[in-house]
Amino acid sequence: MARGDGRLTHDLLEDDRSPQDACGVFGVWAPGEDVAKLAYYGLYALQHRGQESAGIATSDGSKILVYKDMGLVSQVFDEQHLGVLTGHIAVGHCRYSTTGGSTWHNAQPTLGGHDDGTVALAHNGNLINSAELRDLVDSRADGAHRGELRHGNTTDTALVTALLTDSPGTPVEERAREVLPLLRGAFCFVFMDEHTLYAARDPQGIRPLVLGRLERGWVVASETAALDIVGASLVREVEPGELVAIDEDGLRTSRFADPEPKGCVFEYVYLARPDTTIAGRAVHEARVEMGRVLAREHPVEADLVIPTPESGTPAAIGYAQESGIPFGQGMVKNAYVGRTFIQPSQTIRQLGIRLKLNPLGHVIKGKRLVVVDDSIVRGNTQRSLVRMLREAGAAEVHVRISSPPVRWPCFYGIDFATRAELIATGLGVDDVRASIGADSLGYISEDGMVGATRQPADRLCTACFTGRYPVALPQDGRYGKDVLELEVPVDAAAPARAHVRAEPPPERSAEPVDVTTVGTLDATISLP
């Protein structure tokens, strides 16, 4: 049955994507609970972190089952699929690709293993030494790739999975303590073998990861909002450089690296859900405070403050509170339109942004507007917005942005435009203002943004604004989204010794879900 591609985003224009996060991860250890459904609802809460594919793996202590597919969480799973994913441990993932293309082969969790057992791993982040890790995997495998690498997986996640399972006889926890120090970049891992749930966070803690408690178990997730939806109480964040293991003996932790905290400031600006808390600071409050700072730093005489829905709403509220200018809804967003898989006609395409956003003419006509948004990437969205508002009768359009100018790409799990595509690269504020057609333009200062987070400046990564990367990039230039696409060979004529076989799913039907054991492992993949 034909269905949409599921790529629902905040993007208003196809050629001006907002910064996209890498993924959301969720893990649960809870004997006696329906862990597959807990993982489903946890991923539902994390859907904003990745809309390309989704997957859940479960273990009952003797075998691992996994189901994954392209699309939104609600499109991938139904009662039938969740019903066959039995056990007391689950690992879930929703993906936005930052290493490796958006294909079924690259969906997560990834599987790997040997005769001693199986590992299922989900990853949020982006490793900058993937090419180096590929070389290491090649050297250890003597050219004979195993698991998902062998079948065309081109993600850094598959590389880590291969490294965790390439030492038969070595327990996964021990092997993790050997592998994790080799990784550079941003990573939050939630993974499991047949008996134990694991979680690990990079020494900088760039991406968020939290630990929660259920009445009869434990949960780890990318954001606190996922804990809320499954009824788990927040215990604490997984610390930078920490490895957590949870099994029938309880919870234990160890350090694989000294912490050097550099949490991503853009999580506060845009990426995280507003109802999430990071490092003790409510994200919604941080965004409202950014709006207040904007009003102090860039005041203007105006009649109405309106947000760019939905990303600019909290900051717009703060701007209105601080300035005394009334807050209003000046535009209506169509909540059901994302990236359309049916291409619009040229006539509709020329309307551009109106497919997703339409002005309330009776509200904005004759008004001097302050339009608040979280960031400017290429500038195409803001240019279309300003034009649309003027056509609807706005007297003046003053744009205010709750982050500094984005001048540098991110290599730690956010898919930004390239530096050449970023409008702020090489242009001053007035040049950008002229380009988008606004009467005035104001960005929040770096100090103002950081101050709103209530985090020490030296504990935050601001690389996309400053170019100061806390983890040095490889000098040989072997990094970026496509670094593995042509470098991990696919063994098309693989012999029968494959440990995990993953074939693309056929067209969906009403037939019962068939779950079959694959290869020499107790790892299974359920296909519709």
* Spatial distance between the Cα atoms of 77 and 55, rounded to a whole number of angstroms: 9
Does residue 462 lie in a domain region? no
The domain in which residue 303 lies consists of 282-456
| 371, part of any domain | yes
User: 71-80, 359-368, 404-413: which has the highest mean pLDDT?
Assistant: 359-368
In a domain, residue 7? The reply is: no
**Residue bearing tokens 């649309």:** 388
Q: What is the pLDDT of residue 97?
A: 66
Which position has the higher pLDDT, 251 or 476?
251
Is the dihedral angle over the CA atoms 335, 336, 340, 346 positive or is it negative? Answer: negative
Same-domain pairing of 243 and 333 = no
Residues 76, 34, single domain; the answer is yes
**CA-wise closest residue to 225 among 153, 175, 274, 178:** 274
Q: Are residues 442 and 328 in the same domain?
A: yes
* Residues 145 and 200 grouped into a single domain: yes
Rounded to whole angstroms, how far apart are CA atoms 176 and 192?
11
Same domain for 483 and 359, yes or no, is: no
The verdict on residue 1 lying in a domain is no
The answer to whether residue 77 is domain-embedded is: yes
> pTM of the full predicted structure?
0.86
515, pLDDT greater than 60: no
* Measured distance CA(525)–CA(286) in Å, rounded: 42
Range scoring the smallest mean pLDDT among 2-11, 388-397, 483-492, 506-515: 506-515
The dihedral through the CA atoms of 469, 471, 477, 481 has a sign that is negative
Question: Per-residue pLDDT averaged across 301-307, rounded?
Answer: 98
Q: Given this model, what pLDDT does residue 504 score? A: 38
CATH of the domain at 125: 3.60.20.10
Q: Both 62 and 195 in a single domain? A: yes
Identify whether residues 499 and 427 lie together within a single domain.
no
225 shares its domain with 346: no
Q: Are 417 and 409 in contact (CB under 8 A)?
A: yes
Please indicate whether residue 23 is annotated as part of the active site. yes
Is residue 417 within 8 A of residue 377, CB to CB? The reply is: yes
State how far the Cα of 455 lies from the Cα of 386, in Å rounded to an integer. 34
95: confidence class by pLDDT, cuts 50, 70, 90: confident
In a domain, 275, yes or no: no
Mean per-residue pLDDT, 120-128: 94
Is 329 a residue whose pLDDT tops 50? yes
Which of these three, 427, 456, 485, is where a domain ends?
456
Residues 172 and 294 in one domain: no
Residue at a domain's end among 456, 491, 512: 456
Arithmetic mean of pLDDT over the chain: 85
CA 464/CA 461 separation, integer angstroms: 8
Question: What are the pLDDT digits (tens) for 136-172?
Answer: 988 876 655 667 888 788 888 999 999 999 888 889 9
> For the domain that residue 382 is a member of, what is the CATH number?
3.40.50.2020
- For residues 226 and 335, state if they share a domain: no
- Largest distance between two CA atoms of the chain: 74
Q: What percent of the chain has pLDDT over 70?
A: 81
Beta strand extents in 73-152 (DSSP E only): 89-95, 110-114, 117-127
Provide the number of structural domains found in the chain. Answer: 2
Q: Say whether the peptide bond before residue 485 is cis (omega within 30 degrees of 0).
A: no
Q: Which helix (H) or strand (E) holds 413?
A: none
494 has a pLDDT exceeding 50: no
- Name the active-site residue from 23, 94, 188, 264: 23
3-state secondary structure of 3: coil
Assign 484 a pLDDT band (cuts: 50, 70, 90).
Answer: low
Integer Cα distance of 509 and 52 in angstroms: 21
DSSP alpha helices (H): ranges in 191-282?
Answer: 224-229, 266
DSSP character at residue 106 = G
Q: Are residues 346 and 411 in the same domain?
A: yes
Domain assignment of residue 373, yes or no:
yes
**Is residue 84 a part of any domain in this protein?**
yes
Last residue within a domain, chosen from 426, 456, 486? 456
Do 41 and 137 belong together in one domain? yes
Q: Which two tokens stand for residue 126?
A: 């982006």
What's the token pair of residue 305? 């403050």
Q: What is the pLDDT of residue 337?
A: 61
331-388 tens-digit pLDDT: 998 877 654 445 567 676 667 778 788 999 999 999 999 999 999 988 988 999 999 9
Phi and psi, residue 60, nearest 5°: -105, 15
pLDDT at 35: 98
505 HSE (CA, 13 A, CB side): 24
